[in-house]
Structure 1
Amino acid sequence: MIDYHTHHVRCGHASGELEEYVQKGIEIGLTQLGLSDHMPLLHVNPETYLPGMAMPMDELPRYVEEAFRLQEKYKDRIDIRVGLEGDYIEGWESEIRRIVEAYPWDYVIGSVHFLGEWDITDYRQTDGWKDRDAYEVYVQYYDAVQKAARTGLYDYIGHIDVIKRFGFKPERSTEHLERQALEAVKAAGLAIELNASGLRMPVNEMFPSRRMLEAALELGIPVTIGSDAHQPERLAQYLDQAVEILRSVGFNELATFRRRKRSMMPIGF
């Protein structure tokens, strides 16, 4: 029983200290708990941008220090993996690389939240869709996912179709865009995650869709799972349903990570 995608008070839009997540993980019987807070903002001014987007840069070393301290403190009760959700921002690859290479992460999630300065996952920025062609936004988004996969910075791609989060979908099919993104993931030797948090979003569907999961299985892409919890009480939320979906599609293993090395474990929920 694992949960590899969690956020904490440092990121500015979540609640709960790291240790509260660890204690909750022990309480609910997690085998592995991944701590994976957001990388600090790089390409926008955090003092003038919308508040609460990510942890301040000076908090990053404190996050890492505390996470590894908790890993040692609770090693006999829960297996903690220390990770980072490393937002991919086109044109900022060198700056991202410096952060990724500065610490001994167990894993780094490659997620696309930003198209330029527009965060397509922020409920406060949904007006950004108003004057844009939805299909062209999807083209830009999946192009960014492909570029993220090719950087070599990440261990798996997070919520790969999160562009659908608020229910904005083009009339034209985007299946070929999804396929191109998955093929880039496969070529880079990465995994993807089944992110259960979509069930509490307007789209009311996990990330990715069953269609993308079936394509991932066909391509031989490994999958891990995460709740994307932003409160301790949401740790492992909907992951029982995520496992049911994975099994019904045909997956029987989950990807896990230690020191940037992937290994597979049987689905055991």
Structure 2
Amino acid sequence: MRDFHLHSNYSDGDFLSAMVDAAEVAGLEGIGFADHCNVAPRERMETMRSVYGFNLDLTYERRRRAIERLRGEASIEIYDAVEMDYDPRDEAAIRDFLETAAFDYAIGSVHAVGGANVQAPSQFAGRSDADLDGVVAEYFDRLVALVESELFDVAAHVDLIARTPPLRGRATDEQYRRVARALADSRTVPEINAGRALTDASIVHPADQLFEMLREFDVPVTVGTDAHDPSEIAGRATFLREFVEDAGIDPVDPPELDRSGK
């Protein structure tokens, strides 16, 4: 099995070599470094880039050289990828960067709507039900736009709002079905993301409700541990192996996807 979504010290993860070593011990056949990147020119996003280091657009060539060295030493395949924050206003900048950088594959994700991080419960404290439902609706609007943009090979954690208690359980069947339909019509594939699967919350992306709709529309999936630390890889990889076996599915490899279609 290959893990197509993990992070390194080129964003908010551990050192490249430490992640590779842990993946080898976990028995993985390959891993894809998909470090965070945001190319939005707006002041708030540039501040976040400087604080969190989500600036792979400035460092990808240096990371690529490091990956090439590791490929010569490792016993597993190593993919050179990226995870990009998506905002419809940034489509031209994202497209230009991806065409220039020529990664093995690109992951797109929605982490924020209306200036709020959808993973931060504190940003939704005290809001009304109507307001929270509006946040969820905007999240799915942006997620569908991400898929329809055809900029990315993979859509990350396609129901990320499920991680956040004030937003959890607010998604509707129609919102999930809309995402499934968009993915069925796109070359972009969703991932089974194990980033919160082994926590007390036991959250797997996509949730059962959405996962069954993806199967209904015959949408292929890929897999990712979303690991940021070497200690996370083995347990999450084991979970993913068991998940796909129990579900009877054969995940696709993003580097092998036909860029003109699935």
TM-score range relative to shorter protein: 0.7 to 0.9
Q: Which residue of structure 1 lines up, in the alignment, with residue 65 of structure 2?
A: 65
TM-score normalized with structure 1 length: 0.84
Q: What are the equivalent positions in structure 2 for 1:7-86 lying under 5 Å apart?
A: 7-11=7-11, 13-14=12-13, 16-42=14-40, 43=42, 44-47=44-47, 51-52=51-52, 54-55=54-55, 57-71=57-71, 73-74=72-73, 77-86=75-84
Q: Which residue of structure 2 lines up, in the alignment, with residue 156 of structure 1?
A: 154
Which amino acid is 2:159 matched to?
Answer: D
Q: Which residue of structure 1 lines up, in the alignment, with residue 5 of structure 2?
A: 5
Task: Quote the Cα distance in structure 2 between the aligned partners of 1:200 and 1:31.
Answer: 22
1:80 counterpart SS class: strand
Q: Is the 8 A contact 1:155 1:191 kept in 2?
A: yes
Query: Is 2:122 aligned against 1:126?
Result: yes
Mean Cα deviation higher: 240-249 or 49-58 = 49-58
State the shift of 1:141 in Å: 0.4
Q: Is the 8 A contact 1:104 1:259 kept in 2?
A: no
**Alpha-carbon deviations, 1:113-141, whole Å to 9, x = none?**
121432223x4x63245436221111100
Q: Which residue of structure 1 lines up, in the alignment, with residue 166 of structure 2?
A: 168
Q: Is the 8 A contact 2:113 2:138 kept in 1?
A: yes
Task: Quote the Cα distance in structure 1 between the aligned partners of 2:146 and 2:221.
Answer: 17
Which amino acid is 2:35 matched to?
Answer: D
Against the structure 1 CA distance between its residues 97 and 200, is the aligned structure 2 distance closer, same or farther, given a 3 Å change threshold?
same
Task: Quote the Cα distance in structure 2 between the aligned partners of 1:34 and 1:56.
Answer: 15
Against the structure 1 CA distance between its residues 103 and 57, is the aligned structure 2 distance closer, same or farther, given a 3 Å change threshold?
closer
1:4 counterpart SS class: strand
Task: Quote the Cα distance in structure 2 between the aligned partners of 1:135 and 1:25.
Answer: 39
Task: Quote the Cα distance in structure 1 between the aligned partners of 2:95 and 2:125.
Answer: 30
The gaps in structure 1 that reach 5 residues or longer are 263-269
TM-score normalized with structure 2 length: 0.86
Q: Which has a greater percent of helix?
A: 2
Task: Quote the Cα distance in structure 1 between the aligned partners of 2:37 and 2:135.
Answer: 24
The gaps in structure 2 that reach 5 residues or longer are none
Root-mean-square deviation (CA, aligned residues, Å) is 2.5
Aligned partner of 1:255 among 225, 238, 252: 252
Task: Quote the Cα distance in structure 1 between the aligned partners of 2:256 and 2:170.
Answer: 41
1:36 counterpart SS class: strand
Q: What are the equivalent positions in structure 2 for 1:117-266 lying under 5 Å apart?
A: 117-121=115-119, 123=120, 126-128=122-124, 130-131=126-127, 133-169=131-167, 174-200=172-198, 203-251=201-249, 253-258=250-255, 261=258
Percent identity between the aligned chains?
25
**Alpha-carbon deviations, 1:6-54, whole Å to 9, x = none?**
111221x33x211211122122211011111011352434347783262
Which amino acid is 2:146 matched to?
Answer: A
The number of aligned residues is 255
State the shift of 1:181 in Å: 1.0
